[in-house]
Amino acid sequence: MAATSVKSPTRKNGSSVASARRLKPEQIPGEVQDVLASTQVIDIHTHLFSPAFGKVGLWGIDELLTYHYLEAEFFRSSDTTPEEYWKLSKPERADAIWKALFAENSPISESTRGVVAVLNAFGLPAEASGLQEARRFFAVQSLESHIRKVLQIAGVSSVVMTNDPLDPDERPVWMSGGQSHPQFHAVLRLDRILWGWPQHWQQLANQGYAVDEDASGKSAAEVRRFLADWHKRMRPLYMAVSLADTFQYPDDSITSKILSEAVLPSCRELGLPMSLMIGVRRQVNPRLRLAGDAVGKADMRAVENLCRTFPDNRFLVSVLSRENQHELAVYARKFNNLMPFGCWWFLNNPSIVEEITRERIELLGTSFIPQHSDARVLEQVIYKWQNTRRTLAPILANSYQLLHADGAEITRQKIQRDVNRLFRGNFEKWTGLRAG
Ligand code: FIX
Ligand code: ZN
């Protein structure tokens, strides 16, 4: 399906009469494109941080170029070994990536083209010599106004962070009052507790929680006390964990024990959904560090068992393997406490996003969350959401044209209602996030 260019989101003052007007089939693509461009989205999973977190928040051209997606591509187009690369400074790494992926080769991969799109959004050159001008531009930006500008260009009303209460860089911020930026929402990320327990249980013990290495005795109750304490500090929209492709539930692991005896009961008590992101094959090549993770097909019966065993928990689920997507959509038909979301990580490419989104629409209508950016660097939301709108437009248009051909009236009002649900409403309903 041909990509269509999507204008950056602007408010369109459509009159109510016009939006109730029945559309002819040939008018549908333009209306869909307009509605997508003018509807702001809630970006429900990112690794962005509000200004309160200081240097933990990444932005600017050197961070864009040293994104781990680009580092993985760099090692395929350069003779530099990872060991030599890690000895370089951040600007030197960015220079090396710029040379290999943008100057010596065409930046036609999803992630390299994204950097070109960001430079273009700010009127900066993407030619070989462009890096110096880009550095001068970002160096004079003030972060607060830059954030407002970036989110406005991207058509993003707010972003949801990933916050680890055991991360030494984040913890001081939360312990001294946390953050209150209206466009950033917190999430309680529990990897170090749910699968990193052997390495991290002592941190909880040192903080006064009576837990032990086997998560026995009072440990479950004490983990719940820890979660309640962090809920007060962070006011998270949901709790989250990323799980390997080998994840099973139930089994006799500490992960299953803490999940069922502490985390899911706390989610019910606090009224929070639980996000499960399943399918990572961690560190298949440790030399690449953050870029060293890969993907594996998961056993989706774990999701089935969790949704059935815990009907009063709401689950947000994203799976990393393309081969698991159809199963996830079918399970969502079986369990209305399961909300599929996003085309995660190695799936966030137009060819795969198209396939996943079409099968979700065919099986679930508009009862799913089509995308999240997973952005690690602020300006990435510009290209990630431009690409999402560009890929979604023909898919949605085709859905309405089929509906029209089968006898229904299509109006802009109905398209707007549906896009509101996909971009915002499903998440607001799942988390109780007030509209805005
Ligand atoms: O677990 C996660 O949240 C993953 O998204 C990250 O670990 C991963 O590195 C990423 O940023 C993928 O887009
Ligand atoms: Zn992520």
In this prediction, residues 348-364 reach a mean pLDDT of: 98
Rounded (5°) CA angle 188-283-319: 55
pLDDT in tens, 69-88: 999 999 999 999 999 999 99
Give CA–CA dist 324/245, Å, rounded. Answer: 10
Tell me which ligand sits closest to the C-alpha of residue 380. Answer: 1
- Going 289 to 290 to 295 to 299, the CA torsion angle's sign is positive
Per-chain mean pLDDT for the chain: 95
Write the single-letter amino acid at 136: R
Residue 247 Cα to ligand 2 midpoint, Å, equals: 17
Give the model's pLDDT for residue 250.
98
- Residue to mutate, 44, 47, 242, ligand 1, most ligand atoms under 8 Å from C-beta: 47
Give CA–CA dist 130/89, Å, rounded. Answer: 19
Give CA–CA dist 415/397, Å, rounded. Answer: 9
- Does residue 6 register a pLDDT over 90? no
In this prediction, residues 49-74 reach a mean pLDDT of: 98
Chain-centroid distance of CA 136 in Å reads 29
**Other CB atoms within 10 Å distance of the CB of residue 127:** 10
Residue 345 Cα to ligand 1 midpoint, Å, equals: 7
Ligand 1 atom nearest the C-alpha of 68 is 9
- Does residue 97 register a pLDDT over 50? yes
Write the single-letter amino acid at 73: E
- Are 152 and 41 in contact by the 8 Å Cβ rule? The answer is no
pLDDT in tens, 249-282: 999 999 999 999 999 999 999 999 999 999 999 9
Give the model's pLDDT for residue 113.
98
Rounded (5°) CA angle 339-344-350: 110
Write the single-letter amino acid at 238: Y
In this prediction, residues 398-419 reach a mean pLDDT of: 98
What is the CATH code of the structural domain delimited by 187-368? 3.20.20.140
Ligand 1 pocket residue status of 59, Cβ below 6 Å: no
- Does residue 434 register a pLDDT over 50? yes
In this prediction, residues 220-234 reach a mean pLDDT of: 98
- Does residue 356 register a pLDDT over 90? yes
- Does residue 14 register a pLDDT over 60? no
- Does residue 436 register a pLDDT over 80? no
Buried b (16+ CB within 10 A) or exposed e, 52-90: bbeeebbbbbbbbbbbebbbbbbbeebebebeebeeeee
Residue 323 Cα to ligand 2 midpoint, Å, equals: 19
Q: Which residues contact 322 (CB under 8 A, 6 or more apart)?
A: 347, 352, 355, 356
Give CA–CA dist 225/222, Å, rounded. Answer: 5
Give the model's pLDDT for residue 3.
38
Give the model's pLDDT for residue 294.
98
Q: Is 229 exposed, middle or buried (0-12, 13-18, 19+ CB in 10 A)?
A: middle
Residue 205 Cα to ligand 1 midpoint, Å, equals: 28
pLDDT band with cut points at 50, 70 and 90 for residue 2 = very low
pLDDT in tens, 125-179: 998 776 999 999 999 999 999 999 999 999 999 999 999 999 999 999 999 999 9
Give CA–CA dist 264/194, Å, rounded. Answer: 12
* Residue whose CA is at the smallest distance from ligand 1 atom 11: 374
Ligand 1 pocket residue status of 372, Cβ below 6 Å: no
- Does residue 234 register a pLDDT over 50? yes
Ligand 1 atom nearest the C-alpha of 374 is 13
- Does residue 8 register a pLDDT over 90? no
- Length of the chain, please? 436
Ligand 1 pocket residue status of 71, Cβ below 6 Å: no
Give the model's pLDDT for residue 129.
76
CA distance to 96, 312, 360, per residue, from 432 (Å):
45, 15, 23
Give CA–CA dist 157/210, Å, rounded. Answer: 41
The third-level CATH classification (topology) of the domain covering 62-139 is uronate isomerase, domain 2, chain A (1.10.2020)
Q: Where are the beta strands (DSSP E) in 256-392?
A: 274-281, 294-295, 315-319, 338-340
Residue 89 Cα to ligand 1 midpoint, Å, equals: 23
Tell me which ligand sits closest to the C-alpha of residue 320. Answer: 1
pLDDT in tens, 288-311: 999 999 999 999 999 999 999 999
Ligand 1 pocket residue status of 189, Cβ below 6 Å: no
**Domain range summary for the chain, segments of one domain joined by +:** 62-139, 187-368
In this prediction, residues 98-110 reach a mean pLDDT of: 97
